[in-house]
Amino acid sequence: MKCKKCGEKASVNMRQHRMALCREHFLEWIPDQTERFIKKYNMFTRNEKVLVAVSGGKDSLSLWDILVRLGYNADGLYLGLGIDGGIGYSDESHRLTDEFANKNNLKLHVVDIEKEYGHSIPVLSEISHRGHGKPCAVCGLTKRHEMNRIARDLGYDVLATGHNLDDEAAVLFGNTLHWEPDYLLRQGPVLPEMEGLARKVKPLCRFYEREMTAYAIARGIEYIYEECPFAEGSTQIFYKESLNQLENVRPGTKLTFYLRFLEARQSGELFVKKEPAQAHLHPCERCGQPTSAPGFCSFCRMLEKAALQPTELQ
């Protein structure tokens, strides 16, 4: 297999694009394409401040690397979830994120959930009785709340996450299997800002997971190989595996599934646009973040249930 650009030996073959590239041209192609997606979906400009949510995994560290290479004003945010799972998951992912930031001289904000709210994510999940024994519900709620809080308090224009095509296609698959119109309407590369909520963007949403792995390795980025121990056996992983089976037989299936959905959503052919949700939002009485019901937001209700007194909420 030869590189499409220079004819040298290719190191990455992208069957869905019928294109193979050598290491050097692949390392140019990924940021070029990212730049194209950032512009195509109007994610952000070089004058805006970007906060990248980094977990220590290949996608988020690669995203940070790409944005900095492209000359964007991008700082990192690491949330310490306090997950051990017998492999010191949080400690190791924090160490690798710190190492990446130091090596590249980048600014990293760190929020340790246990220090901030008195308990780690697994303990918060247990004492607030949410999530049926798995901490993922409390984890997701806390991550959304904290990312938005930090972006808002520190004056970032946009919050970027490292979701790749495999992640997005799996979420889309789930939302389609259950025909979830509200989730389908909100899924996309950009979730616009609303009063009190930062704009959220996913610049890697059109790259396959294996492309991001190849990028991280080719760039020499040290990342945590292990998934969060609580991800094992999740529905999301099952959907990813199912889509991979389809992809193996029909290369490009995942990309077409996602892109055709975006086109249909954009054109309004399949989905009727509803009133923006903002009209029904109220500020939470405790932390000020927008919430659909008057009173406390779900994060503050969770804290209340866990009988905690949040100190840092404003």
Q: Is 25 in the site for Zn ion (CB under 5 A)?
A: yes
Q: Least distance (Å) from Zn ion to the CB of residue 221?
A: 21
In degrees and rounded to multiples of 5, residue 280 shows phi and psi of -105, 10
Collapsed DSSP state (helix, strand, coil) of residue 16: helix
Q: What angle do CA 277, 282, 283 make, to 5 degrees?
A: 125
SS3 234: coil
User: Is 135 a binder of ligand SF4 (CB under 6 A)?
Assistant: yes
Q: In Å, how far are 48, 81, 151 from 94, measured between CA atoms?
A: 26, 10, 19
Question: In this chain, which stretch among 11-19, 56-64, 132-140, 210-218 interacts with ligand SF4, using CB under 6 A?
Answer: 132-140
Pairing state of beta strands 108-112 and 290-291?
A: unpaired
**Shortest Å, Cβ 160 to ligand SF4:** 18
Cβ atoms of residues 74 and 160 within 8 Å: yes
Looking at 107-115, 133-141, 250-258, 299-307, which segment touches ligand SF4 (CB under 6 A)? 133-141
Q: Check residue 284 for interaction with Zn ion (CB under 5 A).
A: yes
Q: Which of residues 248-277 bind ligand SF4 (CB under 6 A)?
A: none
| Amino acid in position 13 | N
The rounded distance, in Å, linking the Cα atoms of 90 and 83 is 5
Residues between 125 and 144 with contacts to Zn ion, criterion CB under 5 A = none
Q: Does 3 bind Zn ion (CB under 5 A)?
A: yes
| Radius of gyration for the chain, computed over Cα atoms and rounded to the nearest angstrom | 20
Per CB under 6 A, 140 contacts ligand SF4: yes
User: Should residue 139 be labelled a site residue for ligand SF4 when binding is judged by CB under 6 A?
Assistant: yes
> Least CB distance from residue 56 to ligand SF4, whole Å?
11
Q: Among ligand SF4, Zn ion, none, what binds residue 139 when CB lies within 5 to 8 Å by partner kind?
A: ligand SF4
Enumerate residues 6+ apart whose C-beta is below 8 A from 247: 253, 254
Min CB(271)–Zn ion separation in Å: 30
Residue 5: which of ligand SF4, Zn ion, none does it interact with, CB under 5 to 8 A by kind?
Zn ion
Stretch in the footprint of Zn ion (CB under 5 A) among 40-48, 200-208, 254-262, 298-306: 298-306
Is residue 203 within 8 A of residue 38, CB to CB? The reply is yes
- Closer Cβ to Zn ion, 271 or 296, answer by number: 296
Nearer to ligand SF4, 11 or 97 (CB): 97
Instruction: CB nearer to Zn ion: give 214 or 300.
Output: 300
| 271 burial via Cβ count (<10 Å: 0-12, 13-18, 19+) | middle
Report the residue number, 76 or 135, with the smaller CB distance to ligand SF4.
135
Q: By 3-state DSSP, what share of the chain in percent is helix, strand and coil, each rounded to 5?
A: 50, 15, 40
- Residues lying near ligand SF4 in the complex (CB under 6 A): 135-136, 139-140, 228, 230-231
